[in-house]
Chains A and B, each alone.
Chain A
Amino acid sequence: MTGINAKAASVRFENVSKVYGTKVTAVDNISLEVRAGTLVTLLGPSGCGKTTTLRMIAGLEMATRGRIFIGEKDVTKLPATDRDVSMVFQSYALFPHMTVMENVSYGLKFSGFDKAETKDKALAGLGLVGLTGYGDRLPSELSGGQQQRVAVARALVLEPQVLLFDEPLSNLDAKLRRQVREEIREIQQNLGLTVVYVTHDQEEALAVSDEIVVMRNAAIAQKGTPRELYEAPADAFVADFIGEANLIPVDIVALDGDTATVRIADYTHRLPSRGLPQGPAKLAVRPSRMRLVAGVGDGVPAVIDKATYVGSRMEYTVTAAFGTVFAVLDDVTTPFRIGDAVTISFAASGPVLIPASQPS
């Protein structure tokens, strides 16, 4: 039985830009590296350039400037056909006039495999996604999740150096989405594939990625492991995009080595300065890192505006002098009520300082 093996290669962008016409810059001077065998997610709001970046890896768009490498090979000018890359499309792009088997065998036909090998590989691919026995169906006779898996199998059987996913889960329901994304991650890790994955869903990104590249306005806002991004966002944009964050205006009143002392109203808090100078800054605090204490205490006084019970935890909207923040508490047995006066403070680890204004 023929198996599916990986020939994973790295992907490297060197100062790549993509300009449409003369004015519209879709990707602006990006450099990044995807190590072989890792799953890297391109994350960002619509129009940030993540799909264009992906399509430039595929060879469906040509870089206007800069160079693109797959493995050690410069592929900047190679068309899609000649790159060893497969892609799973948002719409799946299954050929409606071909059966599942024909769809999965499609790329193999053009890769110099003989008939028996093609069949074996295709069957192995279908097996890998759990669709053994569905070969004779037409795409229209499959459910959405099944179609999605056919699309994955079709890309997988080519054993590409890089496998690309363009928002592959956006047409699936939530439960299926979780299941398929775990399957994708599992296959990727088992086979050691290099995967570049585009999504606008930060939860999805956090769940599947070895590394995340957050993009904004055609440029990279920050890249790092999910934990790095979550715990140490470079700026307010990243902080807000990766999980929710409360952005609280603060003043850095003192610097002591790497530790800064910040003041919010009358409350002071010490935390790593991350190289920020004295003066105004912002404190990014995840809702789960907020501490609420009933009555007056050491912290910032505030009032509960909304309280929502979501089963495993309580969600609160709290108004203080500096504005409104969002907090999540695990205590569901003795919740606060709307109108309760509370004091806000922050967990020792978790809150991070970020610059007051966004870099332009």
Chain B
Amino acid sequence: MRTVSLEQTTHPVLIFWIIAGWVGYCILPWYGVEGFWSFEWLVDGWPLDDDYAPAAVLVGVGQKLWLAPMLLALAAPLLVLGRRKTDPLYAQVLIAAGGFGFAWLVAQGLGIGLRGFTAEWLTTLFGTLDDRQFGMGYGAMVTASAFLFLFTHGIAARGAINGDVFVTSAIGGVIAVVTIFVFFPITKMLLAAFATDDGGYSVLGFFPKFFDDRIWGLDCLSGGRCGVAWNSLLLAVLVGVLTTLLGLAFALVLTRSGFRYKRLLRALTVLPIITPPFVIGLAIILLFGLSGTVTTSLAAMFGVEATRWIYGLPGILIAQLLAFTPIAFLVLIGVVEGVSPSMEEAAQTLRANRWQTFRTVSWPLMRPGLANAFLLGFIESMADFGNPLVLGGNFDVLSTEIFFAIVGAQYDQSRAAILAVVLLGFTLGAFYLQRFWLGRKSYTTVTGKGDAGVHPPMPNGLAYPVYAVVALWSAFTLVVYGMILYGSVVQLWGVDDTLTFKHYLTAFRIDWTEDGLRWTGSAWDSFWTTMTIATLAAPLTAAIGLITAYLLTRQTFAGKRAFEFGTMLSFAIPGTVIGVAYILAFNVPPIEITGTGLILVISFIFRNMPVGVRAGIASMSQLDKSLDESSLTLGANSWQTFRAVILPLLRPAILAALVYSFVRAMTAISAVIFLVSARYDMSTSYIIGRVENNDYGLAIAYSTALIFVMLAAVGLLQLLVGRTRIGRRTSHGEIH
């Protein structure tokens, strides 16, 4: 029989959250404890010791009385047990209790800090507080989650989002975490844009700094130098357009040609994404620099005078194209595969030739993918700072300027914040331009009807240039990676070409001793930390990203646009700013997580989540909505629908999100450099240390090793995620 047990008993998930709230309040330590996982606190005075006490005990002995009001909010939901969901009281109680509990928890956390009240007006209002509190711990976290989800249960019971508990909870959850880990730190950072030298805030002071000539100057039109804003914009547009076109070319060759070695090509396109920063830049210098291989041989052969042309826009452009084309490719491959072959076949039967079919059907249907790929390329380029650092020459861009405004000789946080505002403005512009271009058209191509078509090959007029571009770019990529591999096995890159394995030995030595295996190589520590953190961050990033994409494409709710933009925000701001913003926001209560591995995981999740979101949106907008609806009418709830119908059809997007977030966690540097700590040092910050110390061999050897590790990991992920069998025929006619 079909189980429609809903109105008899209370929803089990609701009961879970009510219990969780009490557990968080009465059993778990309320404030953060050192080394939670050691469970030392269990035997070290818990639950009565002040440091480890649950909130209930603290309140019970008359301490931290501001925690007491939450008891009300915990007790109230007990009223709804056994009540029908349609009972108005059910919704009202849950909304009131959850809302009040959450608001109070946040308010007391922000209002009372390490030195009592955190704001003047609180002291004026209530007098001086002679107590203080540390960062929230697991008790607070569990209780806060409980309040949040009680609230969303209440909202759902009132009929919001068709009364769907999963969707309301997901929206509530995503909004909460995005607010805490994106809006909160960035707001703190941006406030600095209005900071004055004497520590106050001023709106008037903002404008002269904002309209500074160094940002907006147009002297390059008359032979001088242009402002960083224009430089960044030019670069980002070029990179966005070119990465999209290159990514599309690779995607087309993979899906619409008879090319045989597709696997090889696929691996090649992913290679740059798994390359640690600086390495591509160094390779490009060794190829095209003043004393580079290509430059000197050209000079010898043709008598061309060697110049430093690579430093500046050309160099950054080449390096960024190498680095970001894979992202465009990963987004586009899903979309290009997703264009329904029967639409293309339909066009051909309507007397369109292959070229017309491509132009009028395939291309327009790829638009969501193209727009997303451009947006990602644009934003990546805006935020990238490793490549401009190495190859920028005198071509300044916003990201490096922000970095050096913070860490450079000026120590000017307010200038950094203003540059961040400019950068954010560009990102915002690109975002809305993309929306404008996509318009309101429907791009649904995977419908519920089985699709038995075959992608037609590209028209010749398109195929030849595409082959040429792909061949050239592949060759170029191979040369660059050949250089890198070579660099890791010579004594001193560019100077002493004796072959040696000493760099690998230094980094990854393993000794057998009486005590067993000993990891004596200098890189092991940072390597294992990086692996752990990347492994943790990747699935979480993909999960949050795809759930967000699902909410954005499949649900309507108030404030959806703002929500979407919020999820893109952390991606659009350079990592360095995020790094500083995280330190500013999370070094003090209520959330105190600097110096832990957790902050690294969190920063990766929210920096890389937008890729999951974009890939998810692009793929999901190609899935017909009737698929979800039929699943719902067949008795699956939203979560089951998401899991059984949407997710399997989203495999390319899942893979993209997983691969990207894993790899990003292993190769990112800009935010990381602020967040690493003694116990959680990451590979990239270790590698930069080697580069700074002229130890190129070791740096490149380590990077090369990481590339192979990541290749293996990507292969493993591909196996794990698998391919979705939807029974399209290949051009050879067999079903796979």
Contacts and interface: CB of A to CB of B under 8 A. Distances in A.
A adjacent to B, CB under 8 Å: yes
A90 B638 CA distance: 21
Given A74-B86, A96-B649, A154-B634, A139 B725 contact: no
B724 to A, nearest CB: 5
Given A89-B629, A138-B727, A62 B449 contact: no
Interface stretch (B2-10, B251-259, B599-607, B679-687): B2-10
B468 interface: no
Contacts of A83: 633
B625 to A, nearest CB: 9
A93 B636 contact: no
Interface in B582-639: 624, 626-627, 629-638
Given A81-B636, A93-B630, A107-B634, A112 B159 contact: no
B448 A92 contact: yes
Interface in B440-485: 446-452
Nearest to B157: A77
Interface stretch (A42-50, A140-148, A217-225): A140-148
Interface in B63-115: 86
Interface string A328-340: 0000000000000
Interface stretch (B175-183, B640-648, B693-701): B640-648
Contacts of B450: 94, 96, 138-142, 147
Nearest to A95: B645
A110 B636 contact: yes
Interface in B419-455: 446-452
Interface in B682-736: 724-728, 735
Interface string A101-120: 00000110111100000000
**Which of A78, A91, A92, A93 neighbours the largest number of chain B CB atoms within 10 Å of its CB?**
A93
Contact of B648 (A62, A97, A142): A97
Given A80-B632, A95-B627, A111 B1 contact: yes
A195 interface: no
Contacts of B635: 81, 107, 110-111, 158
B550 to A, nearest CB: 16
A214 interface: no
A112 B159 CA distance: 26
A292 to B, nearest CB: 44
Nearest to A83: B633
Interface of B is mostly: loop
Interface string B33-61: 00000000000000000000000000000
B9 to A, nearest CB: 13
B384 interface: no
Contacts of B172: none
Given A87-B630, A96-B446, A97-B649, A141 B4 contact: no
A207 interface: no
A79 interface: yes
B448 A91 contact: yes
Nearest to B161: A79
A84 B4 contact: yes
Contacts of A84: 2, 4
Given A97-B726, A112-B2, A171-B449, A89 B86 contact: no
Given A107-B634, A139-B450, A80 B162 contact: yes
A135 to B, nearest CB: 14
A208 interface: no
Contacts of A38: none
A87 B626 CA distance: 10
B729 to A, nearest CB: 8
B634 A158 contact: yes
Contacts of A81: 164, 632, 635-638
Contacts of A142: 450
A83 to B, nearest CB: 8
Given A93-B626, A96-B727, A171-B449, A110 B634 contact: yes
Contacts of B6: 82
Given A91-B449, A92-B449, A111 B626 contact: no
16 contacts: A62-B159, A79-B162, A81-B636, A82-B6, A86-B633, A87-B633, A93-B448, A95-B448, A96-B451, A106-B636, A110-B635, A138-B726, A140-B452, A141-B452, A158-B634, A171-B449
Interface of B: 1-4, 6, 86, 159, 162-164, 446-452, 624, 626-627, 629-638, 640, 644-645, 648-649, 724-728, 735
